[in-house]
Amino acid sequence: MKIAFIGLGNMGGPMAANLMAAGHDVTGFDLTARPDGLRMADSAAAACAGADVAITMLPNGTILRQVAAEVIPALTAGAVLLDCSTVDVDSARAVAADAQAAGLGALDAPVSGGIGGAQGGTLTFMVGGDADAFARAKPLFDIMGQKAVHCGPSGNGQAAKICNNMILGVTMIATCEAFALADKLGLDRQAMFDVVSTSSGSSWSMNAYCPAPGVGPTSPADNDYRPGFAADLMLKDLRLSQQAAVGADADTPLGQVATDLYRRFVEDEDGAGRDFSAMLPRFAARGRA
């Protein structure tokens, strides 16, 4: 396929590289990033000239709307606009409506798997949009990731992503709290992991991404909490979850508490630029308030 890829940062750059390595004709655009070996256009609209699929990986819904307003008129009717950003549900649905009105297929397909998943082609895509557009994009999902789930109409990919990450934020906080409590009760961290990872308290946060250094599979905790998934990005996703909860009149008290804790960690403490599992040393250093 002829692919335009707009947004070539830590996630978009490796994703575009994997598509190009698989033999697709990829033209990129980014205001700052210039990945080696990728043909670059002078504008997002220029990158989309003649494209079968335009992929966007952008920071937020406001920027997505701005870029979409530029690229939708540049795409030929029948092309697919595939947005892999994590944004608010309203922005995803508004962009999809504009794309469909222009005769385009539209998919919102946020990802899970982080930078390592983007580099290794092992991302999971949560996809909203019509079934025909999903079928056309499926070969690209198979290159960039290991799984793509069609979650229903436009916006449902974003809904799945923010619900998933609200669970992740809450369970990581609970895991870090439990390790900090175990420390103060004199329970060895390895023993704690051995029990919980095979018991009813097990979770992805414990079993696959353990926040305790030297315990369980290798994780950012073993690299001084350099981010695999930054606390700043967790805060962004939690804020999106609470924005959606307000709009849907949904009661999400643990989601709100997790949002408040990550906000304090990132904006008032030392969490900015650290992995979201660095909540463990934060709790370990604190007493009961």
Q: Three-state DSSP class for 152?
A: strand
d(CA 11, CA 234): 15
**Radius of gyration over every alpha carbon of the chain, rounded to an integer in angstroms:** 20
For the record, the structure tokens of 152 come out as 């229903």
Neighbours of 96 (CB within 10 A): 26
Q: pTM here? A: 0.91
Contact 241, 166 (CB under 8 A): yes
CA 126 to each of CA 100, 108, 109, 121, 165: distance values in angstroms, whole numbers, following the listed order: 20, 8, 5, 15, 12
Q: Please tell me which residue in 2, 138, 147, 161 is annotated as part of the active site.
A: 161
Q: Angle at CA 118, nearest 5°, toward 78 and 269?
A: 120
**Cα-to-chain-centroid distance, residue 132:** 24
pLDDT tens, position by position, 147-164: 999 999 999 999 999 999
Of 31, 23, 30, nearest to 2 by C-alpha is 23
Mean pLDDT in each 10-residue stretch from start to end of the chain (289 residues)? 96 97 98 92 97 97 98 97 97 98 98 91 97 97 98 97 97 98 98 98 97 97 95 97 96 98 98 98 93
Report which residue type is found at 278.
A
161 part of the active site: yes
d(CA 209, CA 154): 31
Of 125, 123, 131, 126, nearest to 151 by C-alpha is 126
For the record, the structure tokens of 121 come out as 């082609």
Q: Give me the pLDDT at residue 115, please.
A: 87
User: What average pLDDT is seen over the chain?
Assistant: 97
Q: Give me the pLDDT at residue 56, please.
A: 98
Residues 6+ apart with CB under 8 A from 233: 227, 276
Q: Give me the pLDDT at residue 116, please.
A: 87
d(CA 23, CA 42): 23
Q: Give me the pLDDT at residue 234, please.
A: 97
